[in-house]
Amino acid sequence: MAAHERRVDELVAGHLARQELGRKHPVEDFLFTYYSFRPAHLRRWHPGVGVVLGGDPPHADWRGYRRVPDDDASDVSGNDSRDGDCSSGVAVDPAFVERRASTISWVHGLLSATASRPAFTGCFGLHEWAMVYRTTPGEPRHESWPLRLGHAGTDDVVESHQIRCSHFDAFRFFTDDARPRNAVQPTRQRQVELEQPGCLHANMDLYKWAYKLAPIVPSELVLDAFMLAREIRELDMRASPYDLRDLGYEPIPIETREGKALYAAAQRAFAERATDLRRRLLDATTSLVNT
pTM for this prediction: 0.91
212, 107 contact by CB (below 8 A): yes
For 114-131, the pLDDT digits (tens) are: 999 999 999 999 999 999
Q: Which of 80-84, 101-105, 204-208, 216-220 has the lowest mean pLDDT?
A: 80-84
For 275-286, the pLDDT digits (tens) are: 999 999 999 999
Contacts by 234-237 with C-beta closer than 8 Å and gap 24+? 234/27, 235/125, 235/200, 235/263, 235/266, 235/267, 235/270, 236/125, 236/128, 236/200, 236/204, 237/26, 237/27, 237/128
Confidence of residue 144 (pLDDT cuts 50, 70, 90): confident
> What residues does each domain of the chain span?
118-289
Model pLDDT, residue 136: 87
Kindly provide the b/e burial profile for residues 223-249, where b requires at least 16 CB atoms within 10 angstroms of the residue's own CB.
Answer: bbbbebbbebbebbbbbbbbebeeeeb
For residues 269 and 70, which has the higher predicted lDDT (pLDDT)?
269
